Amino acid sequence: MPFDSKDFVETKPDVFSLEGLIAWLETQDPSIRYDWEDCCGGCLIGMYYAAHKVPAGISYIDVFGDEWVNNYAGVCSNLVGETTFGAALERARKLASS
C-alpha cells in the first residue's frame, strides 16, 4: 500500500515536558543569554512560558510538576554553567538521556 500523506500524523512532545523544552530550545538561537535570577520573565522558563502563552501567575511547579522541578536548576541555573540557550539545550539533552 503506497504512503498516503493524509494518514500521516505528526506527533509533538508535550509542551510542558523536558522533551518539549528541548524541542523549543532547538529552535532558538544558541547564543541568546537569559538571566536565571530575573523573576519578571527574563529567565529561561519565563521566556519559554511567553513563547507558549502560559497565563501569568502559573508557577513552573504547576506546569512541570515536582519531578521535573527537581531538575530545573540543573538545566537553567547560572550555577551549572553558561546561561545561553545553547548551553541549556546541552544540559537538557544530557538530562533526558540519563
pLDDT score of 38 more than 60: yes
The mean pLDDT value of the chain amounts to 82
The reply to whether the predicted model has a pTM over 0.85 is no
Residue at grid coordinates 510538576: 65
Q: What is the mean pLDDT of residues 58-79?
A: 72
Percentage with pLDDT > 70 across the chain? 77
Q: Distance between terminal CA atoms of the chain?
A: 39
Angle in degrees, 0-180, between the axes of helices 44-51 and 18-25, rounded to the nearest 10: 90
- Confidence at 34, pLDDT banded by 50, 70, 90: very high
Q: Can you give the pLDDT at residue 67?
A: 65
Write out the DSSP string of 26-44.
Answer: TTS-TT-B--TT-TTTTSH
Reference 33, options 41, 42, 24; nearest CA is 42
pLDDT digits (tens, 9 = 90+) for 6-25: 666 767 777 778 888 999 99
* pLDDT range class, residue 36, cuts 50, 70, 90: confident
CA–CA dist 61, 22 (Å, integer) = 18
Side chain identity at residue 58, one-letter code: I
